[in-house]
Structure 1
Amino acid sequence: MLVKHLLIILLLVLNFATLTVLAQSNIPSKSKVTAIAKEANELMKVGNHEQSLIKSRLALSQAILLKDDNLIAGLYNTIAANFDQLSENDKASYYYHKGLTYANKTNNDILKNWLNNNLGNIYCFDKKQYKKGIEHYKKSLQYSSKIKDSVQILFTKLNLTWAYFDIGRYNEGLPYLKYINKHHKKHGDSSTIVALNMLNGMYYNYKNDTKKAQFFFLNAIKLGNEGNEKSDLSYSHHEFSKFLLKNGDYKNAYKNLELFNTITEKLNNEEKLQKANVAGINLQIDEYKREIDKIESEFKTKEYLLLQEQSKNKKIVVVLISILVLLFFIFYFYSQNAQLKHKNKLKDLRSKVQENMINASINGQELERKKIASFLHDNISALLSSAGLHLQAYTSQNQSSSQEIVKTKAILEQAHDQVRDLSHELMPSLLARFGLFDALEDLCQKNSNSILHMEYSSTLNRTTRYDEDFEMKIYFIIMELLNNIIKHSQAQQARLSIHENSKYLDITITDNGKGFDSNRFHVLEGFGINQIKARINNLKGTVAINSKLDSGTAIKINVPITY
């Protein structure tokens, strides 16, 4: 028996040595990772975003193993640029910031320049957070000046001019515009000439020099029609329509506004087609799977290191036969315990992934509701208002208005009201403007009727505000629970109570309905309680459900407040 144990231990030692060699051979080479990163970047340039993301994420996992900050930063920039081109601005911003964190650890001023410039674009022209955007543009300008890249200096100053002009700070943008006008012929190219002419038009419009403003606007439109910069052409028509409207030329202002809308709609359609090539939810799920693979890989690496350390100790065991049996049993029980822990950890991870997938789906739905509501309010509603404004301008110039114009105005007003109502239904205006407590009180009042009375109670000041995303999540959790009461409970009375308790929010929802067996809630159809629990877990909160048949239901939620 002792000889058998000795042979087993010797076999284990050989296995450990083999695993160690394999582990060392699996470390990728820098040249291989660089080649994959280059391929990912080329795929992005030709618009194959799905393959580019797959390649860049593969290269990123290997670059992290190499601990190469320069490679890691460059790959985060590629991932962000893919999402940027797909108009997934939040993801693009997140990965640009990750890339900048690693780039700041290196001497790669070129990459720092691009990352800051891209973040400036995100903040200024997508998120409309001009203060942050201008800060990143100025950092980009510092790096492009440091590396003496004249082309990039001009490009960044063009962005700074545009950002300042977009918020009406023309005097602060003027020095940059003067520099561009002076050096564009030498360092600029055809991709920026349309924007430069438009910016000159905007400046002279601000200075009320109509002759120069009109010259530059018309030149921008002419060059835009000859080239491929359709977004700059779209902006040129928009700014020219403002100029014409300011100077009383309503007819041409309307024509340019129509051209702006046509080009913008075409660009938006192209963007939608581009987005269709990559399914966002699949990317999220793949990302979670990759996170699991990463955790498992880290665990195996640690396990290999542990086994390597044990293999050294086993060499002594070969000499010290007297303690072979003891060491064998120690190793055997340790291995069994480690395997059991490993299985339990994988089981916990799978459970966490399922919960994360539910949360990802819910967050995606809430994000889409917010995007659609914002799009309806900021774009469609604005376009309807603009159409009404132009119709009003026309009727004010023509004393007699036909019946068709009167009807058209009424239809536009009706469409505007319906768009506004739909926007408020997707994302309640009370929640955005006045906060969680006004929105919940209004929700209870709207759901109350002669059959069901919903009572709202809170000790908190109704003007108290929390983090916007936190308020939105709490609102939709409570709305789902109240909907369950309306659909399933057959109650006559319901009550919603909210209180603060040491930086935690206590929420209690009760009803006197038919109730259900809370021990079997996971098999009930249509209640959505599993999804609600996943939402609350995502907020690091707890939920307790107490219900019995024919005895009503009480739900208590406790979540840490995000201010």
Structure 2
Amino acid sequence: MSFIFRNQLHLLWIVLLVPLVGVLPLQGQPVDDVISSDKGLSALTSTGNFAKDTMLINKYNQLARKYLFHDASVTIRYAKEALALCQKNHWDRGKLDTYNLLSTYYLIDGSYDILREISNESYNLSIKLDLPVYKAYAERFLAESYAEYREFDKAYFYFESALATFIKYKADSAQALCLENIANYHREKNEWELAEENYNKAYQLNDQLNNPFGKASVLQSEGYMCLRRLQFQKAENLFYRALAINKSINNRYGLLNVYNDLNNFYYITNDFDKSIEIGKLALDFSKRYHSTLHTNWALNCLAKAYKKKNDLPTTVEYLEQISFLRRLTHQERIERQFTMSQLMFDNKQMDIEIQNKTIEEQNAIQVFLIGILVLSIIFAIFLWRANINLRKKNVEIKGALIKGQTLERKRVAAELHDSLGGTLASLNWYLYGIDKKILPDHERTIYNSIQQMVGKAYKDLRSLSHNLMPDDLETHGLVLTIQRLVDKLNENNEISFTFDVSGLDERLGSKVEFEMYSIILELTNNILKHAQAKLARIQIEADPQFINLTVSDDGIGLRVKTDGGMGLGNVRNRVQSLSGTLKIQIENGTFIFIKIPRT
């Protein structure tokens, strides 16, 4: 039944794009006839002119949206072309539009890892451009990624934040979608009355807006709730109402989603003939939509239904198709992940180049002005200015060193994620494609061990690449970055980390934040590797003169290296660079006290 919930989430987001793009040009026309008229359009390259390229970007995005409900392959083709042109022309507003479109596509495709990366990019870019509505769109997509991994509290937080923005700026269609998302949240917690209340609000708002997409989505989501409550007649009625709306507006994606839900509905209610009839419709629409993911879902339901009817040859036939599509889906996903990662990496590199050029120009102007000033004053003032410039240069050198370390960490993190991370992800997906049921018991044990180790290695690598240099440190500061680090550490359920902070109401200097983050990261890694602890605590207390950092655990105690090896050497060096002190107490665990002067 889990795949129904996923279908519901997919359809929810598609509703959002309707108020952005207006009425679809396909509405009221035969779908296949209209699509065939544009599929032959070739992807153009950059014209070399910014104004013409922006028009071309808008055209690509318009075409991508046009086919979003009808042909996934055409949508992703034009969206990628638009993003590449946005990067070439450094057009941030165009990137936001394309990111929203790609986020919807990857939501439909079920690529939640890519969705979260793109949503984070959109979130940061919308803050940079001071576009709160776009920020709310990014928050909604982030919420969807958290909902997929059943982190409902985080999802609810982002849904509520987005809803407040939409209400403030009167984005009514997006507001209706958030109400439906909140209803789904209550549904997953079995809070039926709250769920039904929010479904009614969402449906009424969509009805006022004359938004058939939104109405169909609410009906389908509520139908799933009724199915979970075993209210079969009501669930079937809601599914068919949603189906009728999608038929009236030629929404191919909406149709295949409802057919998949009905397919599963009849399977659950043991009407296997009806399940097969509807499943074949779902399969036909999924193939025409060019989505291997949805095709695989339809095949899976058909195989289960034929198995219940003891039609083993047909069951085997569908299972063979499922096996082939799984391999195909794996290959397509790896290619998409590589392409998107490369595009996003190139985007960051271009942004860094622009920033460096701006800094170089500003430095050149500053040097020129200083030279003019020096030539216009007497010799004594010249000596005084020379001394000031020398101090300033020392500060710039220190800042450059910190920046260099930061950029190097980002580079290493990106290389780890893009190269080794891609290899591990490929291996993991390939393992998922193996049917372990056909393996002997001892080989199945080996297979399970390999699968667990590869999964853990991939998770550890993702955590390492993020922790090397999180974007949050520059954007949000030390406190929020450490809190998010602790949240990630607690995901492994082996050691419980807590984080307490007091007296630190403002941000510290970039060097202090960078060094303190590196110290905490080093110490937490030591705890994970060597402490054998159950509980660990990170505490920061600040007063007007000092910052006190305490990291403790209840483990076996830290063996301090004295041979000059890595050990705590890196920590000592960083503390010394901040003119601080370090003390270690080993008694019923390890207690590390660090005191740094607040300059």
TM-score bracket for the superposition, by shorter chain length: 0.5 to 0.7
Query: Which whole-Å CA distance do the structure 1 matches of 2:350 and 2:327 have between them?
Result: 36
Indicate the SS of the match to 2:270. Answer: coil
Q: Does 1:384 align with 2:412?
A: no
Q: Among 178, 203, 209, which residue is 1:139 paired with?
A: 178
Query: Which whole-Å CA distance do the structure 2 matches of 1:308 and 1:186 have between them?
Result: 69
Query: Which whole-Å CA distance do the structure 2 matches of 1:228 and 1:175 have between them?
Result: 28
Matched with 1:185 is: 247
Taking structure 1 as reference, are residues 331 and 72 closer, same or farther at Cα in structure 2, changes over 3 Å only? Answer: farther
Give the drift of 1:256.
2.4
Q: Among 412, 432, 440, which residue is 2:440 paired with?
A: 412
Give the drift of 1:243.
2.8
Taking structure 1 as reference, are residues 557 and 73 closer, same or farther at Cα in structure 2, changes over 3 Å only? Answer: farther
Give the drift of 1:384.
2.1
Q: Does 1:343 align with 2:392?
A: no
Bigger radius of gyration: 1
Taking structure 1 as reference, are residues 470 and 231 closer, same or farther at Cα in structure 2, changes over 3 Å only? Answer: closer
Give the drift of 1:237.
1.1
Letter in 2 for 1:139: C
Taking structure 1 as reference, are residues 307 and 35 closer, same or farther at Cα in structure 2, changes over 3 Å only? Answer: farther
Matched with 1:153 is: 214
Q: Does 1:421 align with 2:421?
A: no
Query: Which whole-Å CA distance do the structure 1 matches of 2:493 and 2:359 have between them?
Result: 34
Query: Which whole-Å CA distance do the structure 2 matches of 1:150 and 1:246 have between them?
Result: 40
Give the drift of 1:94.
3.9
Q: Does 1:253 align with 2:315?
A: yes
Letter in 1 for 2:178: K
Query: Which whole-Å CA distance do the structure 1 matches of 2:207 and 2:380 have between them?
Result: 66
Aligned residues of 2:212 and 2:245 also touching (Cα < 8 A): no
Give the drift of 1:236.
0.9
Q: Does 1:262 align with 2:290?
A: no
The residue correspondences of 1:137-536 to structure 2 (distance < 5 A) are: 138-139=177-178, 145=206, 148=209, 150=211, 152-153=213-214, 156-157=217-218, 160=221, 177-224=239-286, 228-275=290-337, 277=339, 280=341, 289=349, 292-293=352-353, 296=356, 299=359, 328-361=382-415, 371=425, 375=429, 379-380=432-433, 383-385=435-437, 387=438, 411-426=439-454, 467-468=490-491, 500=536, 503=539, 504-505=551-552, 510=559, 518=564
Indicate the SS of the match to 1:208. Answer: coil
Q: Among 80, 85, 92, which residue is 2:115 paired with?
A: 92
Give the drift of 1:195.
3.1
Aligned residues of 2:103 and 2:115 also touching (Cα < 8 A): yes
Taking structure 1 as reference, are residues 497 and 122 closer, same or farther at Cα in structure 2, changes over 3 Å only? Answer: closer
Matched with 1:549 is: none
Taking structure 1 as reference, are residues 370 and 51 closer, same or farther at Cα in structure 2, changes over 3 Å only? Answer: same
Taking structure 1 as reference, are residues 166 and 156 closer, same or farther at Cα in structure 2, changes over 3 Å only? Answer: same
Query: Which whole-Å CA distance do the structure 1 matches of 2:57 and 2:415 have between them?
Result: 30
Query: Which whole-Å CA distance do the structure 1 matches of 2:324 and 2:229 have between them?
Result: 26
Give the drift of 1:81.
6.6
Aligned residues of 1:204 and 1:212 also touching (Cα < 8 A): yes
Taking structure 1 as reference, are residues 90 and 156 closer, same or farther at Cα in structure 2, changes over 3 Å only? Answer: same
Aligned residues of 1:234 and 1:263 also touching (Cα < 8 A): yes
Query: Which whole-Å CA distance do the structure 2 matches of 1:193 and 1:209 have between them?
Result: 20
Query: Which whole-Å CA distance do the structure 1 matches of 2:423 and 2:229 have between them?
Result: 31
Deviations 1:358-386 (A, max 9, x none): 44555678966985786578x357x323x
Taking structure 1 as reference, are residues 245 and 301 closer, same or farther at Cα in structure 2, changes over 3 Å only? Answer: farther
Give the drift of 1:420.
0.7
Query: Which whole-Å CA distance do the structure 1 matches of 2:394 and 2:523 have between them?
Result: 41
Matched with 1:489 is: none
Give the drift of 1:37.
5.4
Indicate the SS of the match to 1:180. Answer: helix
Give the drift of 1:349.
1.6
Aligned residues of 2:330 and 2:430 also touching (Cα < 8 A): no
Deviations 1:448-477 (A, max 9, x none): xxxxxxxxxxxxxxxxx9512696999995
Query: CA RMSD of the aligned region, Å?
Result: 6.1
| TM-score normalised to structure 2 length | 0.50
Taking structure 1 as reference, are residues 158 and 217 closer, same or farther at Cα in structure 2, changes over 3 Å only? Answer: farther
Query: Which whole-Å CA distance do the structure 2 matches of 1:33 and 1:333 have between them?
Result: 50
Taking structure 1 as reference, are residues 86 and 340 closer, same or farther at Cα in structure 2, changes over 3 Å only? Answer: farther
Query: Which whole-Å CA distance do the structure 2 matches of 1:254 and 1:164 have between them?
Result: 32
Taking structure 1 as reference, are residues 191 and 107 closer, same or farther at Cα in structure 2, changes over 3 Å only? Answer: same
Aligned residues of 2:83 and 2:95 also touching (Cα < 8 A): no
Letter in 2 for 1:342: E
Query: Which whole-Å CA distance do the structure 1 matches of 2:522 and 2:310 have between them?
Result: 49
Taking structure 1 as reference, are residues 231 and 179 closer, same or farther at Cα in structure 2, changes over 3 Å only? Answer: same
Indicate the SS of the match to 1:200. Answer: helix
Taking structure 1 as reference, are residues 146 and 292 closer, same or farther at Cα in structure 2, changes over 3 Å only? Answer: farther
Taking structure 1 as reference, are residues 496 and 362 closer, same or farther at Cα in structure 2, changes over 3 Å only? Answer: farther
Aligned residues of 1:373 and 1:424 also touching (Cα < 8 A): no
Task: Structure 2 unaligned segments of length 5 or more: list them.
Answer: 1-48, 65-73, 160-173, 181-201, 461-487, 496-520, 540-550, 585-589, 595-599
Matched with 1:486 is: none
Taking structure 1 as reference, are residues 39 and 223 closer, same or farther at Cα in structure 2, changes over 3 Å only? Answer: closer
Give the drift of 1:238.
0.7
Taking structure 1 as reference, are residues 40 and 84 closer, same or farther at Cα in structure 2, changes over 3 Å only? Answer: farther
Matched with 1:22 is: none
Aligned residues of 2:292 and 2:328 also touching (Cα < 8 A): no
Aligned residues of 1:203 and 1:213 also touching (Cα < 8 A): yes
Query: Which whole-Å CA distance do the structure 2 matches of 1:226 and 1:419 have between them?
Result: 36
Query: Which whole-Å CA distance do the structure 2 matches of 1:165 and 1:376 have between them?
Result: 36
Query: Which whole-Å CA distance do the structure 2 matches of 1:264 and 1:30 have between them?
Result: 42
Indicate the SS of the match to 1:518. Answer: coil
Taking structure 1 as reference, are residues 36 and 344 closer, same or farther at Cα in structure 2, changes over 3 Å only? Answer: farther
Aligned residues of 1:191 and 1:229 also touching (Cα < 8 A): no
Matched with 1:443 is: none
Aligned residues of 2:219 and 2:241 also touching (Cα < 8 A): no
Matched with 1:488 is: none
Give the drift of 1:222.
4.2
Task: Structure 1 unaligned segments of length 5 or more: list them.
Answer: 1-28, 64-69, 388-410, 433-464, 483-494, 522-528, 547-555
